[in-house]
Chains A and B, each alone.
Chain A
Amino acid sequence: MIDQKTPDRKTSDDHALPNAVPSLTSNLDLEAPDKPYLDSNEIILNMGPQHPATHGVLRVILKLDGEKVMGTECVIGYLHRGVEKIAENRTYTMFNPYVDRMDYCAAVSNGLGYCEAVERLMNVEAPPRAQYIRVILTELQRLASHQLWLGTHALDIGAMTPLFYTFRDREEILKIFEKYCGARLTTHAFRIGGCQYEIYPGFEKDVKNFLAFAPPKIDEYETLLTSNRIWLERTKNVGVISAKDAIALGVTGPVLRASGVKWDIRKAVPYANYSKFDFEIPVGTNGDTYDRYLVRMAEMRQSLRIIEQAVNGIPEGPIMAKVPKLIKPPVGEIYHSIEAPKGELGYFIVSDGSTQPYRLRVRPPSFVNLQALDLMVRGALVADVVAVIGTFDIVLGEVDR
């Protein structure tokens, strides 16, 4: 193409003609023997870490043939803070707030797992009243986590409305948390041995109001998505994982249940006082993104069922067990896990009898689940990668710790 210089407006006179002479030099290389066609072989595409659909700082290296994914590799660790090292240098009590910063979308669940692990190591049990408060808050947290997942997952796929609906309703849960312990996100609600705070006056009323408020809202999300043609096209048969593969890859939580494995730690290895409540474990059949959506929607309703039973049965009594001021568990090891909104959240603690854990290992559900990404997106399209990352419900604070 012939290079035509545009006249410099700042220096030229308003009425004078531009005095630039068209350049006669050409950029076309007519002598070149081969025209440079673009290579249409496989390409490596780098997605993230700064990408809105990766829900944080996840970097996925994609090997693409056209639009088809030939393989992926996850690069993680951008949010690594060395939580396990910090634990070794803090007392058991001091480490408690740190666990909230792992899965920051479900801080209450993290706190429950940690407190129960230390309690088991010390052989104490939280009093019944504290157990009930814990269950109510943890199930509210599960709901909030699923709502956040639904909003962002739908947004990734292109449905914007659910985001506003879910965030509007999640606010009601966060308000209860704020009234209870003063914080909305990193709550630090529980203590080793029970709960720090007695429930505030009107707590039961607030929870009951929420129980009346939430079901129609969940129906509302379902009307937006469940039989939405675009939603079905984008999620059905996308990211399929069989039950066998899911177990081999250590996948847990709703992702495992959507593949048809009826396994929930609340039922299999009951902790807190979940054995007292009546609820179902929703399972899927196909193990695709749509089934995982259905499983989580059903789980929200089951959480409401648990909350309803719990809030009507809060017993009187103390909220703290007799725990020494200085927590010094005896020498030993414990592995304790709970059903966090994302899957099995485990704490493995090695105690040497001092006030600090000798070794504290967190088994994060998101970290282990994310390994299945490669299997689930191989052969799919680039757009499906976004859907599959969303369907895991990963939180990078927990993946990287």
Chain B
Amino acid sequence: MVEKYKCQYGSGLDAQTYLGQNYFTVDRSLIPDFLRLLRDEEQFDYCVDLTAAHYPKREKQFDVFWILYSFARNERIRVKTQIADGESLPSSFSIWPTTDWLEREAYDMFGIKFDGHPGLKRILLPDGWKGHPLRKDYDILRQDKEWVQINLGIESGQ
């Protein structure tokens, strides 16, 4: 499988294994097509999780991960891509509907936008909140003071 796709996509794709877990590092430009291919051709019909990690010192600040599982092959893989701050990704909602809330959470926590998502809004934090807490530059004690004062009527939530 790996060889096949390496030939097809060339340098845009890299496959690695760490601690017995396989993952693909793919270029952002391949994203919707490659994921769709994995579902249709390779039977990765279950999207376990979608998440991200923030590396503020890098040029492309975010790693975005899809964790996929195939019932037919009993195999789990990860797909990983890098995007810059402010760059958006195509939504995988049409491939796996389960990514609906997962993408909303990634947006809520990291501020990553997904194009084509049916209703990209905050999910865990309140709608009017400012900032994306899982970014590394968001301090653990920081909060949207204005929101807390207006909505909770207290000075600080801490």
Contacts and interface: CB of A to CB of B under 8 A. Distances in A.
Asked if A and B bind, the verdict is yes
Interface of A: 76-77, 80, 82, 84-86, 88-89, 120-121, 123, 247-250, 261, 263, 268-269, 332-335, 337, 344, 346, 348, 350, 358-359, 361, 363, 367-368, 371, 400-401
A84 B140 CA distance: 11
Contacts, number: 89
B74 A269 contact: yes
A332 B19 contact: yes
The binding surface of chain A is classed by DSSP as: mixed
A261 B74 CA distance: 13
B63 to A, nearest CB: 8
B125 A248 contact: no
A266 to B, nearest CB: 13
A80 B124 contact: yes
Contacts of A371: 97-98, 100-101
Given A84-B134, A123-B19, A346-B67, A248 B98 contact: yes
A363 B67 contact: yes
Nearest to A331: B18
B100 A335 contact: no
B48 A401 contact: no
B100 to A, nearest CB: 6
Interface string B63-77: 101010001001010
A256 to B, nearest CB: 9
Contact of B76 (A86, A123, A335, A358): A335
Contacts of A80: 124-125
Which 6 A-B residue pairings sit nearest by Cβ, starting from the closest?
A250-B98, A77-B124, A359-B53, A363-B49, A361-B51, A80-B124
Contacts of B76: 269, 335
Interface in B104-147: 109, 122-126, 133-134, 138, 140
B97 to A, nearest CB: 5
A115 to B, nearest CB: 16
A332 B18 contact: yes
Contacts of B138: 85
Contact of B46 (A250, A346, A348): A250
B96 A248 contact: yes
A67 B18 CA distance: 53
A123 B18 CA distance: 11
Contacts of B47: 250
A137 B72 CA distance: 31
Contact of A85 (B45, B71, B134): B134
A350 B53 contact: yes
Nearest to B71: A263
Contact of B67 (A248, A348, A401): A348
Contact of A401 (B63, B97, B124, B126): B124
A250 B53 contact: no
A86 B140 CA distance: 7
